[in-house]
């Protein structure tokens, strides 16, 4: 982790600042919410949090590029910070506490940019998770007060807990039959949604999760937390990392079966 210690520490500082800002507007009666061209909501808090993170990064890492959900790409080079200011905006605007700021640093390498640092901060839940390449994954209040994460050892699908976000996306992609077969094959299903299932996989409290349509900023931070906890994070096509436009995460032992169900009738 020594190679990325300063970057990870900076990501925590950025998350602290974003948390203070997003929590200040959470459940605010005058919160302004707009609809983006893709028909998803964006709040003033999304924009303000990304602006805050960008301004701090521009001072602390002026040579690094920044990619954010709300304001796109800025800069070039082998290092790129990827930001989702509020993952779970629909929850945020309805007062549901399941939302998080996702901050990742990606570096250019074989197969394109790969995440090397990730922080997932969910202040309304009082939780934070993080990881750095080669240094493991952790959860806790701070870098100095943390517990190491490890995925589960469940090896049978019939004993596994599956988490997901919704059914509509699977239906739109023609994968609903395979997904429903998967729900019947596992021990338990729960629709926690957004970033949380991936963190549960990393913690070992959930064994598998998947989503049919995602953007890079939804996955960069969660991907490295899962993999550094010992799990697998791929697209539905099996390609490792957060570049497939969708995601499947598991404890590793169940990954092939997970992908098999989600692709069997596609």
Binding-site sequence positions for Mg(2+): 69, 84, 86-87, 218
Asked if 163 and 206 touch (Cβ cutoff 8 Å), the reply is yes
Burial of 189 from C-beta contacts in 10 A (0-12 / 13-18 / 19+): middle
The dihedrals phi and psi of 198, each to the nearest 5 degrees, come to: -65, -40
14 burial type by CB count under 10 A (0-12 exposed, 13-18 middle, 19+ buried) = buried
Query: Do 43 and 92 contact (CB within 8 A), yes or no?
Result: yes
Question: Residue 110 carries which DSSP code?
Answer: T
CA dihedral sign of residues 83, 80, 104, 249: positive
Q: Please provide residue 91's backbone torsions phi and psi, each rounded to the nearest 5 degrees.
A: -65, -45
Three-class SS state of 50: helix
**Binding-site residue positions:** 69, 84, 86-87, 218
Distance (Å, whole) CA 220 – CA 222: 6
């Amino acid at each position: 982790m020594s190679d990325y210690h300063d970057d990870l520490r900076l990501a925590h500082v950025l998350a602290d600042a974003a948390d203070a800002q997003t929590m200040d507007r959470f459940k605010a009666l005058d919160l302004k919410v707009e609809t983006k061209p893709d028909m998803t909501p964006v709040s003033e808090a999304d924009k303000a949090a990304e602006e805050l993170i960008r301004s701090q990064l521009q001072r602390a890492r002026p040579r690094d590029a920044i990619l954010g959900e709300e304001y796109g790409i800025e800069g070039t080079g082998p290092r790129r910070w990827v930001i989702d200011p509020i993952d779970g905006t629909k929850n945020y605007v309805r007062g549901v506490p399941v939302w998080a700021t996702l901050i990742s640093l990606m570096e250019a390498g074989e197969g394109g940019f790969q995440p090397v640092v990730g922080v997932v901060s969910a202040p309304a839940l009082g939780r934070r998770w993080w990881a750095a390449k080669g240094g493991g994954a952790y959860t806790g209040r701070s870098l100095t007060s943390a517990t190491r994460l490890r995925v589960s050892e469940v090896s049978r699908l019939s004993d596994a807990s599956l988490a997901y976000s919704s059914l509509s996306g699977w239906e739109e992609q023609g994968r609903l039959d395979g997904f429903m077969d998967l729900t019947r094959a596992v021990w338990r299903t729960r629709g926690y949604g957004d970033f949380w299932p991936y963190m549960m996989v990393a913690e070992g409290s959930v064994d598998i999760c998947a989503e049919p349509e995602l953007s890079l900023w939804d996955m960069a931070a969660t991907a490295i937390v899962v993999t550094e906890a010992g799990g697998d994070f791929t697209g539905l096509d099996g390609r490792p990392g957060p570049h497939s436009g969708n995601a499947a995460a598991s404890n590793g032992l169940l990954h092939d079966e997970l992908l098999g169900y989600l692709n069997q009738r596609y």
